[in-house]
Structure formats: C-alpha cells, structure tokens
Structure 1
C-alpha cells in the first residue's frame, strides 16, 4: 500500500499530523518497526515527550491535533530518519529541543543541521 511506498517519510508526516485538526491515522506501516530502529516506538516516545497526542496501533499511529509542541530531550534511537523528523518537530516546538544521537543524520544527509539552520 501507499504507507509501505513512503515508509521513510512517515516519521516526518507524523510530525505534520500533530498540527492538523482532528484525528490523523497512519496505518499499513508495520515495516516501521523493523527499520534502523523501531521507528514506530521512537516517534511515539519523542512526540509524546513534546506533548503530542499520539497513540501507537498495530501498524501505525493515531495522532490527534492540533497540539502545541514543547521542547524536550528526545532520543533518535540512533536512526537518521527519526533524528531528522524530531528536528523538524523541534522547529515548531516552544522552547529548546535536544536530540540524543543526532549525529546519526550524517549517514544519509551530511550537513542536515547546517542546512536546517540556514533555512530558519
């Protein structure tokens, strides 16, 4: 299905869903659990720590928004896609966000944080 075709984009889509009014259901994404990390659990933990209303289901999430995100210390789980998605969440959050293991983004996007800072 469509979720499987865009599996790498789902973490940042989950961030966007925190800002959309109503319930967003991301389903058909069981593969999230078997990528570089358990992306399903890592995104739930990170976004919940920031104040998102996110609930894990068997193969995805239910995210209810909009929710104001608050800066928090979150864990990338050593996964570049999680680190990048949580960095985007940090941009829209109030306060400071610290991402443990953020250097893992160098695997797929060297200079990511420099580019992000430039855009902001």
Structure 2
C-alpha cells in the first residue's frame, strides 16, 4: 500500500514539476513576445520620428529657398524702383532746364523788343 502512495506522490510531484516547467516556459514565451512587441514599437516610433524629421527638414529647406527667392525679388524690385526714380528725376530735370531755357529766351526776346 505504501509503495502505491509513494508512486502516487512521485507522480504528483512529477506532474507538479512538469506544470511548473510548462508555466515557466509559457511565462518566458510571453516575455519574449512582449520584448519583440516593444522592439517593434520602438522601431516604428523611430521610423515615424525619422520621417517627421525628414519632412520638417524638407519644409525648412523649402521655406529657406522661398525666403531667398523673395529677397532676390525684393532686391530686383528695389533696383527697378531706383531706376524708375532716376528716370523720372532726369525727366523732371530735363523739363526744368527746357522751361528755364524758354524763360531765358522769352526774357531775352522781351529785352530785345524793349530796347527797340
């Protein structure tokens, strides 16, 4: 009778050890799966961050290029305004000289008529 009890106890002990071993294996499998999921999440997060950095860098470069183009356009417009101003100034000066010459001519003609 005793040997049956010992065999049953040994079988129960073996079953408990097997169950504990299976539980450890399951726990280790879950831990590995969790670690893999975390690694994938980190890799995905890095990829998203890298994509966001790349996009931000592209936008910044586009903004810098646009700003440079605007500076060039502003400089060209400023130069064009300067040229227009110079042309208008020359036209006004020319008209003033013509008027002055006419007035001098008119005054000379009046003086000549007056002398006669």
Query: How does the TM-score come out when normalised to structure 1?
Result: 0.15
More strand by share: 1
Point out which structure has higher relative CO (alpha carbons under 8 A, 6+ apart): 1
Decide which structure has the larger Cα Rg and report it.
Answer: 2
More helix by share: 2
